[in-house]
Amino acid sequence: MNLTTERTGSARKSGDLASSLPFLRRYARSVTGRQSSGDAIVRATLEASLNDPDLLAEINGGAVGLFRAFTKVWTSSDAGFARDAGAFAAETSSQIARVPSFPRQALLLNQLEDFSIAQTGEILGVSEEEAGQLVKQAIADLALDRPADVLIIEDETMIASHLEDIVTQAGHRVIGNATTATEARDIFAEKRPGLVLSDMQLADGSSGADAVDEILRLSDVPVIFITAFPELLLTGERPEPAFLIGKPFRDETVRTAISQALFFGSHVEK
């Protein structure tokens, strides 16, 4: 069990809304591709619960209830929130556009948020068997992703090597590994990869966030942040990453985040 699993597990057992909410915000961003749209739906869910006792009871019933309430509000909204993967087909070359919305949600719930298949089904309102089939369908379709060039920003040699293996096995190409913000900027400027995986704390004391800020001045590239404490980047107090995974991580989590980031072409919003 990784750190993210331990924290979400504690939140599920305690029913603590404050503990679960940062992870709902992470899910909302990853499923919509943007901090702004994800946070907007989370706000809409909380606001709707003020006038709906049943929805409020679900939200206060633990992480599964909170995510289920979010799903109900999101899928019933007419406010222009993007839900259908097909709607994005013209905006991206990634083959993740082949994945229907429901399987994509199931995959993110299971692989990114560490919900069990049974819990995933409960959140989406389907049986455990159906949820398992949705995840399998999404995994099969994600294997069709078009290859991308990837820059890894990570100062721990073993972690960088592990990430490189995951990226390569997913069919993508690692064009460099940077251990400092300066090195990351230089590699990106020379090779212009299509995706960046970045740690937060780097070898020379520089910040992965600073490295990404410099990179985004050069190009609007998708970025996935990797950190041991993801909830610290989900406060809502400043611009934050749309794609965020915790350390230690599962291979499946990284692969899912890569496909989702490439699909949306999202970045750290300014």
The model's confidence at residue 184, banded by pLDDT at 50, 70 and 90, is very high
Which amino acid type is present at position 235? Answer: T
Q: Cα–chain-centroid distance for residue 19?
A: 18
Tell me what pLDDT residue 33 has: 79
Tell whether the model's pLDDT for residue 157 goes beyond 60. Answer: yes
Tell me what pLDDT residue 56 has: 93
Average pLDDT (58-83) is: 78
Angle, vertex CA 255, rays to CA 211 and CA 73, nearest 5: 90
The model's confidence at residue 232, banded by pLDDT at 50, 70 and 90, is low
Max intra-chain CA distance, the chain = 56
Q: Is 28 exposed, middle or buried (0-12, 13-18, 19+ CB in 10 A)?
A: buried
Domains in the chain: boundaries:
1-81, 84-144, 149-264
Tell whether the model's pLDDT for residue 85 goes beyond 70. Answer: no
Determine the Cα–Cα distance for residues 57 and 177; give it in Å rounded to an integer. Answer: 47
CATH code: domain 84-144 is 1.10.10
Q: Which CATH superfamily is domain 149-264 in?
A: Response regulator (3.40.50.2300)
Tell me what pLDDT residue 265 has: 67
Q: Which of 127, 92, 143, 111 is nearest to 31 (CA)?
A: 111
Average pLDDT (193-209) is: 86
Convert the pLDDT of each residue in 135-145 to its tens digit.
999 888 777 67
Are 84-144 and 149-264 in the same CATH fold? no
DSSP secondary structure letter of residue 207: B
Tell me what pLDDT residue 35 has: 78
Would you state the structure tokens that stand for residue 194, as one six-digit string?
A: 């299509």
Q: What is the percent of the chain with per-residue pLDDT over 90, rounded to a whole number?
A: 45
Higher pLDDT pick, 239 / 231: 231
Q: At what angle do helices 208-218 and 181-191 cross, to 10 degrees?
A: 30
Domain 1-81, CATH among 1.10.1740.10, 3.40.50.620, 3.20.190.10, 1.10.8.60: 1.10.1740.10
Long-range contacts: 128-137, Cβ < 8 Å, 24+? Answer: 131/106, 134/102, 134/103, 134/105, 134/106, 134/107, 135/103, 135/106, 135/107, 135/110, 135/111, 137/99, 137/100, 137/103
Tell me what pLDDT residue 238 has: 54
Q: Which of 265, 253, 224, 261 is nearest to 135 (CA)?
A: 253
